[in-house]
Structure 1
Amino acid sequence: MVATMRLGLSEEDLYLFNQGTAYHSYRFMGAHPMTVSGKQGVRFAVWAPNATEVRVIGEFNEWNGKSHRMKKHGTTGIHVLFIPELRPGELYKYELVTENGEVARKSDPYAFYSERRPGTASIVVDNDGYTWDDAAWMEQKKTKSPYDRPLLIYEAHAGSWKTKGKEHYYTYEELAEDLVPYVAGLGYTHIELMPLAEHPLDQSWGYQVTGFYSPTSRYGTPLQFKKLVDACHRNSIGVILDWVPGHFCKDDHGLRLFDGTPLYEGADSNRAELPLWGTLAFDYSRHEVWSFLISNAIYWMDVFHIDGLRVDAVANMINLHMDKPAHMRTFNAHGGRDNLDALRFLKRLNETVFHYYPDTLMLAEDSSAWPAVTSPTYLGGLGFNFKWNMGWMNDTLRYMSLHPSDRPHHHHLITFSIWYAFSENYVLPLSHDEVVHGKHSLLDKMPGTYEEKFAQLRLFYGYWMTHPGKKLLFMGSEWGQFDEWKDQDMLDWMVLEYDSHRSMLEYVKTLNHTYRKLPSLWERDRDPECFGWIDVNNAAQSVITYIRYGYESCSVIVINFSNQNYPNYRIGMPEPGRYAVVINSSARQFGGNGGSEEVCCITEDVAWHGRDQSISIELPPLTFLLLTPLPGDTL
């Protein structure tokens, strides 16, 4: 015990790790520069309970660990060694001798920095010493509830937003200089970065991880990543990181059979194997896996000031049968398909995150119908504070892909989502998953001529922005990227040489800033009283009209999904008075043909849609209109 304490490891730390409650295990696991008995060096700690011997190897010993054998601490399964004179920057691995005498060379599960692929060594790094300049951001986010404020997320893939050439990526610092002001100027509140934990295969986009604690070296160092997050915060942009606690890849240097036995994965291969992805599921029944994963979530917030995690593939975590052929399906203790251990893990994860960081965003990417995903755990929920609304996304994109002449027969696809819009705290995602693998870009999903595609994408964005729920848009969609996302190449920035794409970018910028400026579009997102239909049943003309209510304001939305012009379209209004046309998606400045040039509408004493007052407007084809009452006239 004395020797362990001398190396900065307490008995309590090790006990809690084995109990699954060491929520800051990165502070004592892995490689840590430190001074012991007056000597500078690095202390290594790794969990490998079934290895007969563990050695530290690296360039410092010519990758021969015979002189650097680690000492196993009691029954904890944790092996420890202090090596004097080592410094940050050293490459290392663990060499493990298994119970059957085989030797495996593994990267450190707690590596804080990793060799750039195809190299697989871990790198000693000192994660302390950076002086943050985001105190104002960190303080102000404690004062605001995420539910009743605008949340407008720009999803980006760091390796293809912009590049300098094939595999010549922008560094984290260069993204801070270019990406951050771009996103801030467009009016987004947050950037969501696709997974940045170290991964061997570019084409996995970061969703098949080997280094859960290591920001990928493709784009630079952990210090540079801190500078990117800091720059975001100084520009009032929050940072959400895609996080993948559901599975890991099988590469030999990673977690698979780490000490020669199934350690991070379960022993039952039918449960561990995920054949659709070619990966392995974590064993959520294992306490040490809880310490590893929950600590990892805390790590990104503690060390890198990350503002939230989008938790990937929740449905796969909680459903033992998801994407499994019949012969691989396993059952829980009650004979059901629910992964009871994963459900317990997710609840503990969210409880722990919100205990330490109550202002954090925890977003579930969940395609299941599991109830109460965003309800507190003490009420039986999973404890997330937001969930992606996959049903809304699937229905609306299917509707928008229809020719306008077919839309009257499928009107429910654009209206049904309101029935469940308040059952969870939703984010409406238009993510990378919808613009790859033959699904077409958002612009190319729209039917019709070149001009009609742009018109329909504009009206669709208007519908999306005014529908209850927070917003997420994938990079390139803001200007109408025509091709699918190509993860090996940068976005098609050259299309901004064309008026149609420049006008789309101007439209999205206007829409974003208008959303943020109008509390009626976000401050009561969880309240069913924030939404009211004016006319939900006009399937014949493919027009919907509705109201969004704030606490002291309202907005009226009119959307014509048909390709017909309605010169005298009458709409019942919530209150008498004058209404300004704040956004007309057919305006020439946005690339439209002008259509109606009305900028103000005055109600008449004509009862319509069950209301005493109404307006009559020209409603151009494929058009979104946003109207707000002029001050002093109505609500």
Structure 2
Amino acid sequence: MNTIPDLDLHLFTEGKHRRAHEHLGAHPVDGGVRFAVWAPSARSVHVLCDADGWSGEHELQAQGSSGVWAGVVDGAGIGTTYHFRITAQSGERLDKADPFGAAHHEAPSTDSLVADLSYEWNDGDWMSSRHENSSLRSPMSIYEVHLGSWGRTLSDGQRFPNYRDLADPLADHCLAHGFTHVEFLPIMEHPFYGSWGYQTTGYFAPTSRYGSPQDLMALVDRLHQRGVGVLLDWVPSHFPTDDHGLARFDGTHLFEHADPRQGFHPDWNSAIFNYGRNEVRSFLLSSAICWLDRFHVDGLRVDAVASMLYLDYSRQAGEWIPNEYGGRENLEAIGFLRQLNEAVYDEFPDVVTHAEESTAWPSVSRPTYVGGLGFGGKWDMGWMHDTLQYMQRDPMHRAWHHGEITFRSVYMGSEHYVLPLSHDEVVHGKGSLLQKMPGDDWQQFANLRLLYSMQWFQPGKKLLFMGGELATRHEWNHEANLDWSLHDVPMHEGVRLALAELNGLYLTEPALHRGDADADGSGIGMQWIESHDSEQSVFAFLRTDPTGESRPVLVAMNATPIPGHNYRLGVPSDGRWEAIFNSDEERFGGSGVGNGEYVDTTPVDAHGQRQSILITLPPLAAVAFVPESAS
């Protein structure tokens, strides 16, 4: 007789189970704990646990032909430490952590832990209205955080902060700077801290470094109560080959492809999931649903999607196997990603999925029913690369690279984009964002404020890695805390204030977010006013509300350290235009060059408009205006 319902076993083996974690893993029952694990090639499976002194006497029973083994260990309960001992057909014994385990012990232990998952949530108001925060036309400004180094402490023998302890400080910081969401680098259990979570072994367990599953629930709950959304970085693209993990789980290549041309990732020295195997798809689908359901998170950022889509990713000729049609596309991974997004949006239509996808793969963020991958958004890696490349150039050379800024308008309506300045840009010798900027100290800060202005005023959701708001002088170090000593230091403080001002405008001016994206890409709310003045490195555009309900925002940028006086820009309406932003304000650390509170139009044709304004363009700065008479 099967311990697990036949229907659930059937769905699991069909690759269609979205909640396999509710049946596999460790689940308290009357008088004990029911354990279940998938190991179809095992000769036998035993549970070793501290409830019986690690005797190894508890043998699990095969559940029909499903490949699942299950059984109840009397006397075990919440807090029981355990792992599975799998005897392979060869006789080899493998001690494995629970793939569906809800909690794990902190390293160096590799054991799993029977977790208490009970929690009384108090985020009902947020959950009932979060659809308003995930709409394509809603503002989404994301603060990317590595928990271990955002609130690192070495006092009192505690190496890492607790999830609960970070809740209010993190909410305070996000709200003070106008961020709507936090996005955590992977918090799933990972044995090597230096992997930042990207080498995941526990796909259902929050890392024990920062506390228990209930502690994480409390963190999410509190952030929601404070009005801050929570996104998680999630890694279904590869996994590490640690002995206690998923690799060669039952003595065979169970979760991964056996052929290294398909199953070994050369970039990360890790294993690649076999997306063509039904049970592997159920495992990954359930992991995604688990975080959204059990922990109330508001979305997933899916890591390294490009590596999943292409069979020849980071491989030379002869190092990969073509698909059945002879192509380089990974058809099984494509099918899985579509299934993933269909499942997520079916179960939780008010969350988001974002893809880190760095190629020109079409329709990443289009619905599956029109041939897309079904993601809610795609990281615009092209914008990130081109903009940083441009901003790192000496201003005197920027005139010859004007297209690095304007090129994005060719494709910006093709996807629903997130504009990322992520952790990847401030590691591995790349330096901090401030370090990348050219010029003397003053110019570096001015360039950084201009970079953020370019990011915030263009269409697309926003993402900034922690430390960017502090204008840190050194690249990120996961073994150290952020340099909070810079928080109120002049110039650094100015960057924070400018960023908060940009976020405030992004939230309150509908033209700056309703035009981020449209259902078919045609409603992008941006039109160039001046895109050809490469000689003076000037850019100007109008952000508009596709619904027509709100006032436009005119943005002009000067990428040189030379102020531009009496610069004429065409505008769509006459009257006074109010200056609402200037990154060169003295309170931001700028020189104070500007336009006062208002500028008036004159009936002089410019840029295809019958009215125009004459403005001053501050050095290395962005300015923004709105028509005074509009509301």
TM over 0.5: yes
> Within the alignment, does 1:136 sit opposite 2:134 as a pair?
no
Report the secondary structure of 2:446's partner residue. Answer: helix
**Following TM superposition, by how much is the alpha carbon of 1:507 offset from its aligned partner in structure 2, in angstroms?**
1.2
Find the aligned partners of 2:433 and 2:424 in 1 and give their Cα distance: 11
SS state of the match for residue 175, structure 2? helix
CA contact (8 A) 2:354 2:376 kept: yes
* Counterpart position of 1:586: 584
User: 1:145 Cα deviation (Å)?
Assistant: 5.5
What displacement does 1:595 show?
1.1
Matched, 1:237 2:219: no
In 1, Cα distance between equivalents of 2:54 and 2:316:
43
SS of the residue 2:95 aligns to: strand
**Matches of 1:31 and 1:326, distance apart in 2:** 44
Contact 1:55/1:96 (8 A) holds in 2: yes
Which moved further from structure 2: 344-353 or 143-152? 143-152
Check whether the contact 1:32–1:126 (CA below 8 A) recurs between aligned residues: no
Residue 481 of structure 1 and its aligned partner are, at CA, apart by 1.1
Q: In structure 2, how many angstroms separate the alpha carbons of the residues matched to 1:528 and 1:220? A: 45
Equivalent residues of 1:479, 1:508 under 8 A apart: no
Paired residue type of 1:31: A
Count of residues in Structure 1 that have an aligned counterpart in Structure 2: 622
CA separation in 2, counterparts of 1:216 and 1:119?
12
Alignment correspondent of 2:78: 88
Aligned to 1:605: 603
Pairs within 5 Å for 1:340-351: 340-351=331-342
Q: Which residue identity lines up with residue 312 of structure 1 in the other structure? A: D
**CA–CA distance in structure 2, aligned partners of residues 170 and 555 of structure 1:** 42
**Pair 1:328-2:319 in alignment:** yes
The residue that corresponds to 1:460 in the other structure is 451
Counterpart CA distance in 2 for 1:20 and 1:31 is 21
1:433 maps onto 2:433 in alignment: no
Q: Give distance in 2, aligned partners of 1:190 and 1:144.
A: 9
Give the one of 243, 248, 262 matched to 2:253. Answer: 262
Hey, what does 1:70 align to over in structure 2?
60
| Distance of 2:76 and 2:627 partners within structure 1 | 68
Query: Paired residue for 1:18?
Result: 13
Secondary structure of the structure 2 residue equivalent to 1:499: coil
Pairwise CA distance, 1:311: 0.3
1:103 aligns with 2:93: yes
Three-state SS of the structure 1 residue aligned to 2:78 is coil
Counterparts of 1:142-157 in structure 2 under 5 Å?
Answer: 142=131, 146-157=135-146
Q: TM-score, normalised to structure 1's length?
A: 0.96
Q: Structure 2 matches for 1:303-318, cutoff 5 A?
A: 303-318=294-309
1:597 Cα deviation after fit: 4.9
2:175 maps to: 184
Correspondences of 1:363-382 after superposition (within 5 Å): 363-382=354-373
- 1:164 and 2:153 correspond: yes
Aligned partner letter, 2:288: A
What is aligned with 2:273? 282
Structure 1 residue aligned with 2:114, among 124, 146, 157? 124
**Structure 1 residue 31 and structure 2 residue 20: aligned?**
no
Selected match of 2:575 from 577, 597, 605 = 577
CA shift digits 1:452-511 (9 cap, x unpaired): 000011111111101011100100101211110111111111122421111111111111
Q: Distance in 1 between matches of 2:252 and 2:260?
A: 12
CA RMSD of aligned residues (A): 1.2
- Asked if residue 544 in structure 1 is aligned to residue 539 in structure 2, the reply is yes
Q: Which amino acid aligns with 2:17?
A: A
Secondary structure of 1:615 counterpart: strand
Q: What per-residue deviation string (whole Å, max 9, x for no partner) do you get for residues 343-395 of structure 1?
A: 00000111111111111100000012110111111111101110000001100
Matched, 1:387 2:382: no
SS of alignment partner, residue 553 of structure 2 = strand
Instruction: Please tell me whether the aligned partners of residues 126 and 227 of structure 2 are also in contact (alpha carbons under 8 angstroms).
Output: yes
* SS in structure 1 at match of 2:491: helix
Alignment of 1:240-251 (within 5 A): 240-251=231-242
Measured after TM superposition, the shift of residue 45 of structure 1 is 0.2
| Partner Cα separation in structure 2 for residue 484 and residue 577 of structure 1 | 47
1:608 and 1:76 mapped to 2: Cα distance? 72
Q: Is the 8 A contact 1:115 1:123 kept in 2?
A: yes
CA separation in 1, counterparts of 2:160 and 2:493? 25
Structure-1 separation of matches of 2:125 and 2:384: 35
- When residues 132 and 529 of structure 1 are mapped into structure 2, their CA distance, relative to the original with a 3 A threshold, is closer
Quick one: which amino acid aligns to residue 145 of structure 2?
A
Structure 1 position 484 matched with structure 2 position 479 = no
Alignment of 1:446-525 (within 5 A): 446-525=437-516
1:386-409 per-residue CA deviation (whole Å, 9 max, x = no partner) reads: 000000110000000000000000
3-state SS of paired residue (2:231): strand
Alpha-carbon distance in 1 for matches of 2:473, 2:317: 39
Structure 2: gaps of 5 or more residues? none
CA distance in 2, matches of 1:495, 1:304: 33
Q: Is the Cα contact below 8 Å between 1:543 and 1:561 reproduced in 2?
A: yes
Aligned-partner residue type, residue 527 of structure 2: G
Which stretch has the larger CA shift, 526-535 or 426-435?
A: 526-535
- For 1:146-181, what per-residue CA distance to the aligned partner results, in whole angstroms no more than 9, with x for missing partners? 101101000000010121128711110011121122
Distance 2:163 2:105 in 1: 16
Helix, strand or coil for the counterpart of 1:160? Answer: helix
Contact 2:133 2:140 in 1 (8 A): no
Contact 2:380 2:418 in 1 (8 A): yes
The corresponding residue for 1:626 is 624
Q: Deviations over 1:231-290 (max 9, x none)?
A: 111111111000000110000000000000000001212210002101000000100001
- Whether the 8 Å CA contact 1:246–1:282 is kept in 2: the answer is yes
Separation of aligned partners in 2, 1:189 and 1:68? 49
User: Which runs of 5 or more residues in structure 1 are unaligned?
Assistant: none
In 1: Cα distance, 2:561 partner to 2:70 partner: 70
CA-CA distance at 1:61 after TM superposition = 3.0
Partner of 2:353: 362
Structure 1 SS opposite 2:479 = coil
Shift of 1:599: 1.6
CA distance in 1, matches of 2:472, 2:265: 33
Cα gap change, 1:62 to 1:144, in 2 (>3 Å): closer
Q: Which residue of 2 aligns with 1:418?
A: 409
Moved more, 201-210 or 498-507: 498-507
**Matching of residue 555 in structure 1 with residue 519 in structure 2:** no
The farther-off stretch of 78-87 and 218-227 is 78-87
- 1:407-428 CA deviation, whole Å, 9 max, x = no partner? 0000000110011001000000
Structure 2 distance, partners of 1:622, 1:143, is 36
Q: What is the deviation of 1:596?
A: 2.2
Letter of the structure 2 residue corresponding to residue 408 of structure 1? A
Structure 1 SS opposite 2:59: coil
- Which has the larger displacement, 496-505 or 258-267? 496-505
Distance 1:435 1:50 in 2: 44
Matches of 1:13 and 1:572, distance apart in 2: 64
Classify the secondary structure of the residue corresponding to 2:388. helix
How big is the shift at 1:598? 1.5
| Deviation of 1:326 (Å) | 3.1
- The one-letter amino acid paired with 2:540 is T
**Deviation of the 1:86 alpha carbon:** 1.1
> Partner of 1:326: helix, strand, or coil?
coil
In 1, are the aligned partners of 2:505 and 2:512 still within 8 Å (CA)? no
**Maintained 8 Å contact 1:274/1:324:** no
Q: 4+ residue stretches of structure 1 with deviation over 4 A? A: none
Which sits farther off after the overlay, 326-335 or 94-103? 326-335
1:114 aligned onto 2:104: yes
Name the CA shift for 1:597/1:479 in 2 (closer, same or farther; >3 Å): farther
- Aligned 8 A contact 2:134 2:140 in 1: no
- Per-residue CA distance 1:597-617 (angstroms, 9 max, x = gap): 512111111222221111112
